[in-house]
Structure 1
Amino acid sequence: MKKFLLKNSAVLVIAIIFSFVSCSSSSEEVEEVVIVEEETEVVDEILPPVVEESTIVWKNWYLSVPIDRGNGKATSIYYEAIEADALTSTQSNYFYKNDDGSYSMYTKFTGFTTSGGPYGLDEGKYCRTELREYWQGNQTTSDNWSMSTGTHILESTAAVEYCEGSGQTYVAQIHGIETDGVNGSPATVKVQWKNGDIVIEYYVKPSAGEDWTSKFDEKITIGKVDNEVFTIKIKIEDGKLYYGLVCEAKNLDTDYTFVFDYVGNGYVHDNYFKTGNYFKWNKDYTQSSKVILYKVLTSHT
């Protein structure tokens, strides 16, 4: 019996036995051909997350883009248009779906902000391509939640493709609204991408008689992600703020970490989450920023 070894990339090992019987002889010769699997080198590679349609529940958000809606304010785009892929060509310059199912969120300073305008350069106003939460899916800006009850979680998976200008853009927020008995609409918690670092900016208790504003703002740097995919987690539980950060490419896996007790310090504003690309630049009309949004999950219990 003769044996021949053949390499093949197939997964199975197949043995084929051929029998040849001579007409002039009673002897039998058997040749066995064995096909073996060829070894291939496995290379570890960190890939962006696979995106599915269910990664963002669009009914729980509306989108703001820095285009004049006709009254000097930024344009709001609602879930029906996003789900139907019915954005105009101009709107699609700022927000569009990628081949892998993620979404590009591009922005630059145009002068058209959510608070109105148009504002000129360097007037303390910034432009954004950003999602604003409707936590129960009701299509009204009065659909907000309180820190005094329940647990509220945002997990946003994104990557900053580039960020020109000052190299700063906000990728997630907890924003307060003007609430009965208290003035102001505080940007209570902001998560900033700053030249590759992730920075938590959070308001702390104001002085007696003053409102919750950036005058009482503190900052902590929680990790460096550069332009890699990361997941920022923000949680309010028992009125307290916690954050978490995951970035596989940078070996970051920070579990929920306590930051500040809001309710214990008298905070009473109702709130909503935001995520996207709030570009901190208003020095010219040319610099821009792009954030790739892969997944957004919220939980309110």
Structure 2
Amino acid sequence: MQKMETGYSIDGNGGAVEGQQLYLWTTKTTNVNQNWVQISHGSGYYSYKKEGTSLCWDGGTGGAKRQAVTLEVCDSSNYDQHWKKVKVTSGTEIYRFEKRNAPGFSIDGNGGAALRQSLYLWTSSSGNINQQWELTRTDDTSGGGSGGGSGGGDHNLDASKAPSGNFDLLDWYLSIPVDEGDGYATSIKEVELAASYEDSYFYTGSDGGMVFYTPVKGVTTSSGTKYVRTELREMLRRGNTSYSTSGKDNNWAFSSIPSSSQSAFGGIDGVLDATLAVNHVTTTSSNNEQVGRIVIGQIHAEGNEPIRLYYHKLPGNSNGAIYFAHETSKSDGGNETWYNLLGSMVSSNGDLNSTSNPSSGIALNEEFSYTITVNGDALTAKISQNGSQLASKTINMSGSGYDDSSNYMYFKAGIYLQDNSSNDSDYAKVTFYKLTNTHDNYNP
């Protein structure tokens, strides 16, 4: 973020020091101290987190001339860290940053420009060149209309459309936690979902993202499920109900099955690619195994799950950890092994290993991407942000029992809540900005 008509940008200095005042430094796009992750709070307000840290711009209490703008631990509920991007010149990426709870004051770079020149608040004025900042994206913006890299960028989504107007949803159905008359959750099938379906659990947000909302109190999908979900289930048949939900041609398999059996499936191997932000998790339970924990992506087999990808943020922490579980095939006993990606929250058997704040974790409302890839016996989960890989883990599924051609796979994405002990009024909310599913030998 470069101060207009200067060669100086907003710099957070080296490392991560709380209370440090932001200042100007010579512009250099490769300088990590000048790279800021944009975190959307909706309604046009954002926080800016220094890349690789858990510190955000903070304007202090209230607003006054020359009030310092400092780095403080990110807190999505703290309005001192919320900034409105006010476009100064149409057709450009030049903005003024106005404090949410003191709209009469904006970030000001003082007159001229010099190394270590401090940033502070000053009376808001779009005509004041000291408050004009040019934004330059340094992340990977590939991905087209479904949203590109993470970090709060423009995903070219239309907030006036239902989710199916921004995402291809014909090869998904949706589960919502509403009783459909038999005591279990309602399923919105592919054709209805793709025909501009929206409800209070699944809708388009103000930024065009696809929002999933899941309360603690709600009906489940089966008698054997103890948690509520608002979640998409992959359907390769794309609305052709002559194919059954559990049929091989509606699902896919790993290429580790015999080659002679592969043509019976709708696809072979696969990649699930998503960009999202977790907006809210449960906070009211004292059970750290459950509170703040959701599943945001899965591969589900006929009985068990080769992968469940978790986001888990405890109420006292500013960041959430990300980890996954790999479950062997039901015929192999359904044993689970757990792997940490960001943070070290769980042990290999799934027990809570740490409740400390994961410094490398992801804050609420902070965009990130995950990619789940299967290639034969190799299953890889990758987390990335701003075009940079944050974590990756590949496991060998040889011996997990999924090379059985009688089994089948499908992706799931959204919210599978893992908390039934918080208050009934508590909830989880996630916004997806990109969601794609691809397979070999898939010809819809």
Q: State TM-score, norm by structure 1.
A: 0.71
Higher RCO, 1 or 2 (CA under 8 Å, sep at least 6)?
1
- Contact 1:72 / 1:116 at 8 angstroms: preserved in 2? no
- Contact 1:66 / 1:112 at 8 angstroms: preserved in 2? yes
State the Cα deviation string for residues 227-280 of structure 1 (Å, max 9, x = none): 2111111111023211211122xx841576421224x54322211000001111
Q: How far is the alpha carbon of 1:111 from its aligned partner?
A: 4.1
- Contact 1:197 / 1:226 at 8 angstroms: preserved in 2? no
Partner of 2:397: 261
Q: Which runs of 5+ in 1 are unaligned?
A: 1-8, 12-37, 118-123, 178-184
State which of 412, 432, 436 in structure 2 corresponds to 1:297. 436
State which of 141, 146, 149 in structure 1 corresponds to 2:245. 141
Judging changes above 3 Å, is the alpha-carbon distance between structure 1 residues 281 and 41 closer, same or farther for their aligned structure 2 residues? closer
State which of 276, 285, 297 in structure 2 corresponds to 1:158. 276
State the Cα deviation string for residues 142-184 of structure 1 (Å, max 9, x = none): 211111353311112111001014010000000011xxxxxxx
- Contact 1:164 / 1:287 at 8 angstroms: preserved in 2? yes
Code of the residue aligned with 2:211 in structure 1: it is: S
Partner of 1:47: 152
Code of the residue aligned with 1:253 in structure 2: it is: Q
Q: How far is the alpha carbon of 1:99 from its aligned partner?
A: 3.2
Code of the residue aligned with 2:245 in structure 1: it is: T
2: CA distance between counterparts of 1:229 and 1:202?
25
Code of the residue aligned with 2:424 in structure 1: it is: Y
Q: How far is the alpha carbon of 1:82 from its aligned partner?
A: 3.1
Code of the residue aligned with 1:200 in structure 2: it is: F
When the two structures are aligned, how many residues end up with a matched partner? 242
2: CA distance between counterparts of 1:205 and 1:151?
16
2: CA distance between counterparts of 1:212 and 1:296?
32
Greater radius of gyration (CA): 1
State the Cα deviation string for residues 187-225 of structure 1 (Å, max 9, x = none): 23100001111111111478xxx6442xx2111121222
Partner of 1:77: 188
Partner of 1:226: 363
State which of 304, 310, 313 in structure 2 corresponds to 1:186. 304
Code of the residue aligned with 2:201 in structure 1: it is: Y
Partner of 1:61: 172
Q: Which runs of 5+ in 2 are unaligned?
A: 1-88, 92-128, 138-150, 158-163, 263-267, 284-290, 314-319, 343-360
Equivalent residues in 2 for 1:84-163 (5 A)? 84-87=195-198, 92-116=199-223, 125-137=226-238, 138-139=240-241, 140-142=244-246, 143-147=250-254, 148=257, 150-163=268-281
State the Cα deviation string for residues 65-112 of structure 1 (Å, max 9, x = none): 00000000100112333333344xxxx111111233211100013341
% identical aligned pairs: 28
Judging changes above 3 Å, is the alpha-carbon distance between structure 1 residues 107 and 255 closer, same or farther for their aligned structure 2 residues? closer
Q: How far is the alpha carbon of 1:47 from its aligned partner?
A: 2.4
Judging changes above 3 Å, is the alpha-carbon distance between structure 1 residues 49 and 201 closer, same or farther for their aligned structure 2 residues? farther
SS in 2 for 1:186: coil
SS in 2 for 1:57: coil
Q: State TM-score, norm by structure 2.
A: 0.50
Q: CA RMSD in A?
A: 2.8
2: CA distance between counterparts of 1:76 and 1:205?
26
Partner of 1:286: 425
